[in-house]
Amino acid sequence: MNKQSKIYIAGHRGLVGSAIYRYLLKEGYKNIIVKTSKELDLRNKEAVDNFFEREKPEYVFLAAAKVGGIIANNEYPADFIRDNLLIQTNVIHASYCNQVEKLLFLGSTCIYPKLAPQPMKEEYLLTGELEPTNEPYAIAKIAGIKMCESYNRQYGTKYISAMPTNLYGPNDNFDLHTSHVLPALLRKFHEAKEKNAPFVEMWGTGTPKREFLYSDDLAEACVFLMNNYDGNEIVNIGVGNDISIKDLGEKVKAVIGYEGDIKFDTTKPDGTPRKLVAVEKINGLGWKAATPFDEGLKKAYRWFLENELTKIN
């Protein structure tokens, strides 16, 4: 991409898309197209086709998706598989029909088998059963990966697929019913501190481990791949280390300054035991995550205080 290239970011208001948008602006890219979901429903094929025919973007970051944590995935499995299949099918095919130079599809590490060896290498895709709690979402994302690969093989397109690990940062979802673990904990511990609650309840046993990547680092990685990678194989994006959910709770508790206890509801599901991605591939290409977790966590909490409290209250 050059600084005048016409770039479309699908999902620019979400955690991933907004980070890519900020990073492109910071780096001096001048010609960025964005549409809210109200302005352009990506599930609507006719609307997507008309948009691409009118705008003719040269590069596409496909960061739009229906996402959520264990609760949302359990309660709305049909929504997760249907909406994601519609969004990615419409955008990928419209990109082909309108001669998009290159597209980056954002997947997720939930595409890997539940019991995949750790850390998870790119070649472990489709080597075992998926985690049941988010299988519909994972299957939709796998379909997107295979769609990109298939268009490359059949049509000679340059569509690449990146698999980010668990993300956090500005514009995260802090809704306790639909959010992922880290933003949910930031909100729960903050509210417990405000109410002087004696304890915070966390789901499961606290033993599963998760890896966390700051969203601004992901954005840098996505632009790096768009400019430097043309392979047909998926690429993991992560930091290369992880933390137990119990230790995560302790870190969030410390950042917020909450002085109560942590209790674990072991009747609730743990999800996948561990989800650490192998990052040798992207590190070998020349990119490495820069934000230490403790620093990123402080930034995320500061953003929550400055931007989310008025919505919640």
| 14 labelled ligand-binding | yes
141 is in an annotated binding site: yes
Q: Is 180 annotated as a binding residue?
A: yes
Name which of 145, 51, 54, 155 is nearest 104 in CA terms.
Answer: 145
Q: Which of 29, 137, 168, 214 is catalytic?
A: 137
Is there a binding annotation on residue 12? yes
Angle, alpha carbons 139-141-146 (nearest 5°):
95
Instruction: Based on the residue annotation, tell me whether 137 is a catalytic residue of this protein.
Output: yes
User: Residue 49 and residue 199: Cα distance in Å, rounded?
Assistant: 51
Q: Tell me: is residue 240 an annotated ligand-binding position.
A: no
Contact 179, 68 (CB under 8 A): yes
Asked whether residue 17 is marked as a ligand-binding residue, the answer is yes
Closest CA to 191 of 212, 176, 173, 179: 176
Residue 15 counted as an annotated binding residue: yes
Q: Binding site annotation covers 109?
A: yes
Task: Determine if residue 106 is labeled as part of a ligand binding site.
Answer: yes
Query: Is 210 a known ligand-binding residue?
Result: yes
Residue 86 has, within 13 A of its CA and on its CB side, a CA count of 15
296 is in an annotated binding site: no
Separation CA 135–CA 133 (nearest Å): 6
34 is in an annotated binding site: no
107 is in an annotated binding site: yes
CA triplet 138, 7, 3: central angle to 5 degrees?
135
Write out the binding residues for NADP(+). 11-17, 106-109, 141, 164-167, 180
Write out the binding residues for substrate. 188, 203, 210, 270
Catalytic sites, residue numbers: 137
Write out the binding residues. 11-17, 106-109, 141, 164-167, 180, 188, 203, 210, 270
